[in-house]
Amino acid sequence: MRFRRHLATWLTVVLALMIGYVGVSYLLDPAGTAPGFGMASWPEGDAAAFLATKGARDLVTGILPLVLLLTRQRRALGWAMSVIAIVPLLDALLILSTGGSTAMALGVHALTAVLTLGTGVLLLTERPRTPASVSRASRLPSVS
């Protein structure tokens, strides 16, 4: 049980930091970051500013799990990670449907969706932790 809890925590942190980094990259250098997404083409000129919306989305997607983790809302975190998994899944489908890179769609986006959903499932199937004081008290012999 302890291993699963630690695994869920570390997967949450790694996935959140990775997507947060992607978000910051899109905000700071959208044109330089966009080709790594896997799409066949990107908007140019004034329309390229639209890429910043992806950066904002990814940054918030990285912040939310960290906030829930830090506030010890593990059940809510499990639901959030499960829902967040839809984003990279849709990204993969979008890339595939527009003739983009199959390797990026499956190897990055679909894999991220699977890892994110798996993390959500780990979090949702955790047993609640028993407070140490209750745990210790239940082991003390009763006095009659």
Q: Render pLDDT for 101-128 as a digit per residue (tens, 0 to 9).
A: 999 999 999 999 999 999 999 999 998 7
Q: Residue 65 falls within a domain, yes or no?
A: yes
Q: Residue 136 falls within a domain, yes or no?
A: no
Q: Residue 28 falls within a domain, yes or no?
A: yes
Could you give the number of structural domains in the chain?
A: 1
Q: pLDDT by residue (tens digit) across 52-76?
A: 899 999 999 999 999 999 999 999 9
Q: Residue 141 falls within a domain, yes or no?
A: no
Banded model confidence at residue 32, pLDDT cuts 50, 70, 90:
confident
Residue of higher predicted confidence among 81 and 128: 81
Which pairs count as long-range contacts for 109-114, CB under 8 Å and 24+ apart, including other chains?
109/38, 112/15, 112/19, 112/88, 113/85, 113/86, 113/87, 113/88, 113/89, 114/85
Banded model confidence at residue 141, pLDDT cuts 50, 70, 90:
low
Q: Residue 135 falls within a domain, yes or no?
A: no
Q: Residue 90 falls within a domain, yes or no?
A: yes
Residue 48 structural domain:
2-127
Q: Residue 19 falls within a domain, yes or no?
A: yes
Q: Residue 134 falls within a domain, yes or no?
A: no
